[in-house]
Structure 1
Amino acid sequence: MTHENHPTDLMDFPGAAALERAGRTEPLDPAVQARAHSLILDAITADAAPARVLRPRFGRRRVFALAAAVAAIAVGAAIVPVTDLGGDGPAASASASEVFTAMADITLSDVANGQTITGAVNAQKLTEAYWKTTIRTWVEGDKAHTDDTYLARDKVVIKTQNGRTVIKENPNGASWPVGAGQVAWDDLYTLPTRPDALRRALAAGAKGSAAEQTVRQAGDLLTDAPVSPKLRAALYRVLAATPGAVVKEGVKDGTGRTGTQISWKWKEKWPVHSDHNPNWIVQPSTGRLLERNMEPGSKPGHISQRDTYLFAGPAKTTG
């Protein structure tokens, strides 16, 4: 569109403000541009179909958000059924609410289009025996190492960078903290996907800051649990409404990938005897969490440890 009087409602979708602030970017590679153009046309065509999943909820204007999301995917990463955590984050400055809302939207738009680039699956339907994560771990004073972790319902298999295989039996079964209790692997699908109900579940029984407990438990579910796309999106929406976050653009993770850093500064210590605050590095255009790192409350800006997420997805075997 070249007319100067642009209709304002065309930009009325989550993340539009950040998009407008992005400014000028360099021209795309012609091949990438052609691919993005094709995907955008597909999205527009799909929006006109009566059976489109998202149409009743978002209406016609949603097509522009979906088209922008599809273009971001085409530029940033190939569409694959597991998480290949690469690419760059957006250049525009945005609030934590905008960032997490955009991540929730892209996660749900993937589902509507029959694709999942986040590696998220429905835990109830996971037929593979393992949930595999590849994490580059660094702790101050030690060398970084990259290990593959295969989580099963009753054990964990870790294949280390130096060739060792460590097996840890877990007769009680895999579970994650939610509120004051634990939720087992096969019960993940029972967690609410309405953000308000999910927030209450995560904050339940908090002995200190309910916001801090919510953020930490949401982070555990997002990084190492086989949660469904709907639950993943709901977790992002919970985080979007959680106060205390500070956003910094153009931050590199432990492997040099650029993303958006979201930080929380807690007044209380969690757990006991720890004064470390979490920083997350995320990629809003793909809904990916690239890294969680920690900095001591007494040394702002000083990173003392990193967990950088390189892969997440189902695996049939540990071979």
Structure 2
Amino acid sequence: MTHKDQDIHVLDFPGATALRNAGRTESPDPKVLERTRALVLQAIAADTDHAVPTASAAAVVVTSRFGRRRLLACAAAVAAVATGFAVLPVVGVGSEPAATVSAADLFNSLADRAASGGRGQAPYWKTTVRTWVEGDRTHTDTYYLSRDALVIKTQNGRTVTKKAPPGGTSWRVGTRQVSWGNLDKLPTRPDALRRILSAGAKGASAAEQTVRQSGELLTGSPASPRLRAALYRVLADTPGAEVTPGVKDGAGRTGARISWKWSDNVAHSPHDPNWIVRPSDGQILETMSTRAGDASHITERTTYLYAGPADKVR
């Protein structure tokens, strides 16, 4: 076989041809599913330089970029056949073929991390945000959101206080506004939560609305760990996501980039949403928009340097 004849398909490991031609299989043993999931999560962790604990005690000892890429390809391929997850293409390393990763498995992993996190109760939800919009300069501000006001500490040293509208601070969820005190009353069963988030929209518009509102709750609200986990599980079953591991955010931190592309079907949305998430703890590091049809053209970027509870304005 010459280099011209080599198979450059994404599944480039021995036996890949047979795997591709295998088609559907019977449901595997639960132990196989668990091992498959562990391999995928370990591969994601290796590629993002973060350790992601799993139910399996097996350790990944491969340290080279080639080894990590191949592990990722093998693990995701096995997951595709064994579990029926949608395996989506991601960017390769250098001139090597692209690997693959399951968007559903990544979101479920983020849900596990979010569920185990402790948020606690505090009077403020604090975010320190680095913002850039095409045509403008980057600036970093800190926001202290409470039940009845928003206090902004600007980069130039100013403090701005904005009172909440009548009814207090609230978030758009589906077709209604949900107040700070009622966030904990939202359902945490993914199917029930999805119905509320997508209310009033259909098709691609329902998927986009679900993603955008979930992102606002995950980054800008004091949602409980149970609600945060439920939001990620809703996203695991929302179509349109593509995953690219090993991407840097605006602050130089490494995570997995999740992209959605519905703009061809959603007339009012000229931009596609993108997130960079950290698989090790389920945090959204950054949200950004790209021009529809041109994923390399970033039009705005919001980098979350901190997002969490705060006892007081400092």
Q: How does 1:16-165 map to 2 (within 5 A)?
A: 16-19=38-41, 21=43, 63-64=55-56, 93-108=100-115, 110=116, 116=118, 120-121=119-120, 126=121, 128-165=122-159
C-alpha distance in structure 1 between counterparts of 2:110 and 2:284, whole Å: 10
Q: Secondary structure at the match of 1:250?
A: strand
Are 1:231 and 2:253 matched, yes or no?
Answer: no
Are 1:242 and 2:242 matched, yes or no?
Answer: no
Query: How far off is 1:310 after superposition?
Result: 1.1
Q: Which has the higher contact order (CA 8 A, sep 6+)?
A: 1
Q: Secondary structure at the match of 2:308?
A: strand
Decide whether aligned partners of structure 1 residues 142 and 200 sit closer, same or farther in structure 2, where only a CA change above 3 A counts: same
Equivalent AA in structure 1 for residue 259 of structure 2: S
Are 1:299 and 2:290 matched, yes or no?
Answer: no
Query: How far off is 1:9 after superposition?
Result: 2.6
Equivalent in 27, 31, 45 of residue 9 of structure 1: 31
Q: Is this contact kept in 2: 1:275–1:297, CA < 8 A?
A: yes
Are 1:317 and 2:284 matched, yes or no?
Answer: no
Query: How far off is 1:205 after superposition?
Result: 1.1
Q: Is this contact kept in 1: 2:205–2:266, CA < 8 A?
A: no
Decide whether aligned partners of structure 1 residues 21 and 170 sit closer, same or farther in structure 2, where only a CA change above 3 A counts: closer
Equivalent in 273, 277, 293 of residue 278 of structure 1: 273
Q: Deviations over 1:274-307 (max 9, x none)?
A: 4011001001121111100001114332111100
Partner of 2:185: 190
Are 1:260 and 2:256 matched, yes or no?
Answer: yes
Query: How far off is 1:129 after superposition?
Result: 2.2
Equivalent AA in structure 1 for residue 307 of structure 2: A
Q: Is this contact kept in 2: 1:18–1:93, CA < 8 A?
A: no
Equivalent AA in structure 1 for residue 178 of structure 2: V
Query: How far off is 1:206 after superposition?
Result: 1.4
Q: Which moved more, 1:233-242 or 1:290-299?
A: 290-299
C-alpha distance in structure 1 between counterparts of 2:284 and 2:309, whole Å: 17
Q: Secondary structure at the match of 2:215?
A: helix
Are 1:209 and 2:205 matched, yes or no?
Answer: yes
Q: Secondary structure at the match of 1:156?
A: strand
Q: Is this contact kept in 2: 1:93–1:249, CA < 8 A?
A: no
Are 1:167 and 2:161 matched, yes or no?
Answer: yes
Structure 1: which 4+ aligned runs deviate by more than 6 Å? Answer: 22-25
Q: Is this contact kept in 2: 1:14–1:101, CA < 8 A?
A: no
Give the unaligned 5+ runs of structure 1.
1-6, 41-61, 69-90
Q: Deviations over 1:74-125 (max 9, x none)?
A: xxxxxxxxxxxxxxxxx985221111100111222x25xxxx2xxx34xxxx
Q: Secondary structure at the match of 1:94?
A: strand
Equivalent AA in structure 1 for residue 31 of structure 2: D
Are 1:288 and 2:295 matched, yes or no?
Answer: no
Decide whether aligned partners of structure 1 residues 152 and 204 sit closer, same or farther in structure 2, where only a CA change above 3 A counts: same
Q: Is this contact kept in 2: 1:254–1:308, CA < 8 A?
A: yes
Q: Is this contact kept in 1: 2:38–2:55, CA < 8 A?
A: no
Report sequence identity in percent.
55
Query: How far off is 1:209 after superposition?
Result: 1.5
Equivalent AA in structure 2 for residue 259 of structure 1: G
Q: Is this contact kept in 2: 1:180–1:206, CA < 8 A?
A: no
Query: How far off is 1:190 after superposition?
Result: 0.4
Partner of 1:181: 176
Q: Deviations over 1:147-177 (max 9, x none)?
A: 1000011110000111111111113211111
Q: Is this contact kept in 2: 1:21–1:93, CA < 8 A?
A: no
Query: How far off is 1:20 after superposition?
Result: 6.2
Query: How far off is 1:64 after superposition?
Result: 3.0
C-alpha distance in structure 2 between counterparts of 1:99 and 1:252, whole Å: 17
Q: Is this contact kept in 1: 2:38–2:56, CA < 8 A?
A: no
Q: Secondary structure at the match of 2:234?
A: helix
C-alpha distance in structure 1 between counterparts of 2:163 and 2:178, whole Å: 18
